[in-house]
Amino acid sequence: MRMTIALPILLLLPASVSAQIAPKSEPAGSEAPITVRIEPVVSGTYELERAREDIRDGRKSGTLSRKQARALKREADRADALANRNARDGLSYSEQREIDMQGRALRSLTEAQRSRPGNAAP
């Protein structure tokens, strides 16, 4: 008999204890609310953006010629177009990985062309 009475009390005890833990008011010294802005960006384009930055940096520093930069930008544009086309109906994991790998490959190609000695001409 004692067991049947004690069991429901033990089951209700954790629920009532956890309800008492929550603070009743805002913590003192809280800052203003943070605004988070989410823009519709195709997932996986981070590496493509980094590749574009590398191309711009290479052109500014003179380590890439105008012709090389144009060719690399065209490749980035192709990858962007593919990413946007695939993103219309949502990207699968494999599509995201493909876009990411294209961006990484473009970055590697950019770095390789930038590191060649004497390759850049104005």
As averages over each run of 10 residues, the pLDDT of the chain (122 residues) reads 55 53 58 61 73 93 93 93 83 84 91 77 50
Residue 18's alpha-carbon distances to 14, 22, 24, in angstroms, are: 6, 7, 13
**Which amino acid makes up residue 10?**
L
pTM of the model: 0.59
- Structure-token match 């500014």, residue found: 60
Q: Give pLDDT tens digits for 55-74.
A: 999 999 999 999 999 999 99
**How much helix, strand and coil, in percent to the nearest 5, is found in the chain?**
65, 0, 35
Phi, psi of 72 (to 5 degrees): -70, -40
Minimal CA–CA distance to 95: which of 79, 83, 107?
A: 83
Contacts of 84 (CB under 8 A, 6+ apart): 42
Residue 5's alpha-carbon distances to 13, 17, 118, in angstroms, are: 13, 19, 88
Say what the pLDDT of residue 112 is.
92
